[in-house]
Structure 1
Amino acid sequence: MSNLKVAVVGVGSMGSMALWQLAKAGVEAVGFEQYGLAHERSAAGGESRMFRTAYMEGADYVPMLKAARCLWQELEAETGQSLLTLNGALMIGPKSDERIANVIKSVEEFDIDHEVLDSTEAMERYPQHWLEPDEIAVLDREGGVIRPEMAVFTAAERAVELGAQLLENSHVDSISETESGVRISADGIDYEFDKVIVTAGPWTARVFPQFSNYLVPRKIVMTWYLSKRLGDYSPENFPAFGRVGGEIHTFGIPALEGTMTKIGSVATFGDVEIPEDLHRDVELTELGAINREVARCHPGLKSTPSRISVHMDAYTVDEHALVGPVSSSGNVFVLGGYSGHGFKLAPVMGEIAKDLATTGATSHSIAHLSPERFAN
């Protein structure tokens, strides 16, 4: 394996973890990042992400999520950084909702440490929430919060410590297959590799135009709210949460720095035609739905945000990622289109990328993420 040379194009959420896993496996790995490390232009921004194993998107993800948790803790142990806080995660919504049914299936099928609370029990234990009578809350005790920018930085820096090369502010102009492997042209310089892993986030469809009808970058807006009782929203008292059944699907993160509580909308704020030109202004009218949900469901919070940040991610038409080979030679791979719910999976995706590049296969179940489902 020491003779294998692998490139990672895009050292963000997935790319940083792929670089770490490749370097850890003794592979000669080079990461190309068009901006600085842990930049704010894509989906890794916003200071926090929810980690959950009771999964609304389907129980198929649970084995990967459990593996991801172990790898998050492995990265922490290797670096001494605190990246994952397992303070629990609440999944809230009508019991009849399909997404809540997926949560129940996840916890029962995979023996996740959990508790199911009816609306009265949930509000007694977590008065920061208001629930409708027909709603339940599933406490996922294996869930919590991740620090995304620090995670990207930590994984990439660890990869460099292990021997990887990181080329920041390096723009990849082309990726082309050759008789012996893959050539990358970046800033006027040609590089030769055996394998290439493309983890380009919102730029994925630009690298692979064949997916342009199925994959689009979208604007994400994150919002933070103030409270007179900050202690109620500390990690010790306020688990991360995801909520369905209201006007919009929302999520929340405790006040990690002791100031504001992050309550966000899973809804996106329009397609982004040119990722470099992401429009960062937000009109007050765009925040109407999230502010109404905060006013309805979180009586202890001021119902207009005190902080807003804008990011973007790539969304597929079925909101499941593209993971696998995209060339007949098997030398080029894509990991993209995570549709707003991928960061928690990042370290296991890095392991999958390493597996694919080194052996052509992985023990993780990724058939539902195959790029072939969108083949033209």
Structure 2
Amino acid sequence: MALIALPTAPSADVIVLGLGAMGSHALWRLAARGVDVLGVEQFAPGHDRGGSHGQSRIIRTAYAEGAGYVPLAREAWRLWRELEHTSGTALLTRTGCLSIGPAGSRKTTAPLVSARTHNLACELLPAVELKARFPQFAVPDDHAAVYDPDAGHLRPERAIAAAVAAARAHGARVLTATAVVALTPDPVRPSVLLADGRRLTARRIVVAAGAWLRGLVPAVGRHLRIERRVVGWFPIAHDPAPYRDDAMPVFTGGDDTGERSWYGVPSLDGETVKLGLHRWPEIAEPVDLRRGHRPPDPADAARFSQAIPLALTGIDPTPSRMQTCMYDLTPDEHFVLGPHRDAPGLILLGGFSGHGFKFAPVIGDITTDLATTGTTPHPITAFNPHRFP
């Protein structure tokens, strides 16, 4: 193939590849700080081909995945409210969150560690108190829950649209329906080759391509696994009032083995409650990105019919509808965030599936720090892209 000469001037100071959860917010935060930034998206912002759709996402503060996430969660809350103010769009609803599991299991002890480390106002509810206060949940007598009041749900499609619109208002440029063929790392002038033959250059390129990071940057992408997941919406059997988000918290739950875990969001339509399976036997199906994730099937419905009685009361276990998405996961299921020695000029964002959406605006701020100064005051050591062998 003939070499394509680089343009004499860079296409932008920073290019952001992928405008899903992380890319859209990186675009906004970069533009808000006056950076000349160009966003490139192979589909359209808010699409359903990756992992940033599904009408709702949970935001929590007493973080079971590690106390180190709590400062990031707190800053994310502030930035979500800023984006709401900037866009005039409601994005975040506070409901509280219940983390439910066998008493003394990690499901209840891990959020308490975060709460105690950062002096968060959380409650440990034994089963009898939990059932009296929140009868919507199926709770065996040997279970308990941690109630985190600083929690709720986000609207992902709205949030991505709001971030892109805010970025454009600050001067960001956006290319949609534009696929990327290849990346050329370079410490001074990295570049990206588009499917239409154009080559774009910048001082830094932010790669926020979700599952597609695996093919674009093999140095990190080879450590990612891409898996299919399904969420479902389940009819409320009787009175919908107790299941609305002004009466019911978002929730996570799981068994004592760690092999089965789920999460859910109260009713946003007055008719259904959303449930997703985070871990469950035989759901970790690899995804071929050329074909995309398979649509839901009867086996998915059968798994949900097993899970609903473990999680909720008063809910029909047959989903009225289901939707698929993709997880991109690192081996330790923590994020990838920062530069990599084998990909100079690039800032890599990946591995956010399962618990990353809530952090999108603060990840955007961190990305802006790294792109403009090379460092950040936020705690990101745990997300070092070099931590894998």
In the alignment, which residue of structure 2 is the partner of 1:196?
A: 205
- Quick one: which of 340, 352, 359 aligns to 2:354? 340
The letter for the 1-side match of 2:385 is P
The letter for the 1-side match of 2:58 is M
TM-score normalised over the length of structure 2:
0.92
In the alignment, which residue of structure 1 is the partner of 2:93?
A: 85
Displacement of 1:330 in angstroms is 4.7
User: Secondary structure at the residue paired with 1:54?
Assistant: coil
Distance 1:298 1:60, change over 3 A: same
Displacement of 1:276 in angstroms is 3.5
Displacement of 1:99 in angstroms is 3.5
Pair 1:135 & 2:143 matched? yes
The letter for the 2-side match of 1:121 is E
Count of residue correspondences? 373
> What's the % identity of the aligned pairs?
35
Structure 2: gaps of 5 or more residues: 1-10
Counterpart contact for 2:209–2:350, Cα < 8 Å: yes
Distance 1:178 1:104, change over 3 A: closer
Displacement of 1:254 in angstroms is 0.9
The letter for the 1-side match of 2:307 is E
Displacement of 1:182 in angstroms is 1.1
In 2, distance between residues paired with 1:259 and 1:131?
23
In the alignment, which residue of structure 1 is the partner of 2:126?
A: 118
- Quick one: which of 250, 255, 271 aligns to 1:245? 255
The letter for the 2-side match of 1:148 is P
Counterpart contact for 1:327–1:333, Cα < 8 Å: no
Counterpart contact for 1:295–1:302, Cα < 8 Å: no
In 2, distance between residues paired with 1:273 and 1:217?
6
In the alignment, which residue of structure 1 is the partner of 2:275?
A: 263
Cα distance per residue 1:190-247 (max 9 Å; x no partner): 1120000000001111111233442011111011100122111101111100112266
Q: Name whichever of 75-84 and 325-334 sits farther off.
A: 325-334
Counterpart contact for 1:17–1:347, Cα < 8 Å: yes
Counterpart contact for 2:185–2:344, Cα < 8 Å: no
User: Secondary structure at the residue paired with 1:136?
Assistant: strand
- Quick one: which of 370, 377, 380 aligns to 1:356? 370
Counterpart contact for 2:186–2:345, Cα < 8 Å: no
Displacement of 1:278 in angstroms is 1.9
In 1, distance between residues paired with 2:312 and 2:343?
53
Displacement of 1:117 in angstroms is 1.1
Structure 1: gaps of 5 or more residues: none
User: Secondary structure at the residue paired with 2:306?
Assistant: helix
In the alignment, which residue of structure 2 is the partner of 1:48?
A: 56
The letter for the 1-side match of 2:270 is G
**Structure 1 stretches (4+) deviating beyond 4 angstroms?**
none
In 2, distance between residues paired with 1:106 and 1:372?
26
The letter for the 2-side match of 1:102 is A
User: Structure 2 matches for 1:315-334, cutoff 5 A?
Assistant: 315-327=329-341, 330-334=344-348
Distance 1:115 1:121, change over 3 A: same
Q: Name whichever of 330-339 and 264-273 sits farther off.
A: 264-273
Counterpart contact for 1:204–1:337, Cα < 8 Å: no
User: Secondary structure at the residue paired with 1:296?
Assistant: helix
In 2, distance between residues paired with 1:230 and 1:198?
42
In 2, distance between residues paired with 1:177 and 1:220?
32
Counterpart contact for 1:119–1:132, Cα < 8 Å: yes
In the alignment, which residue of structure 1 is the partner of 2:169?
A: 161
User: Secondary structure at the residue paired with 1:235?
Assistant: coil
Displacement of 1:138 in angstroms is 1.2
Displacement of 1:105 in angstroms is 0.7
Distance 1:36 1:324, change over 3 A: same
In the alignment, which residue of structure 1 is the partner of 2:220?
A: 211
Distance 1:276 1:150, change over 3 A: farther
In 2, distance between residues paired with 1:329 and 1:120?
54
Displacement of 1:175 in angstroms is 1.5
In 2, distance between residues paired with 1:281 and 1:46?
14
Cα distance per residue 1:66-91 (max 9 Å; x no partner): 11111111111111110000111111
TM-score normalised over the length of structure 1:
0.95
Counterpart contact for 1:43–1:340, Cα < 8 Å: no
Cα distance per residue 1:235-276 (max 9 Å; x no partner): 111110011226620111011122210011112733434223
User: Secondary structure at the residue paired with 1:276?
Assistant: coil
Displacement of 1:331 in angstroms is 1.8
What CA RMSD, in Å, does the superposition of the two structures yield over aligned residues? 1.8
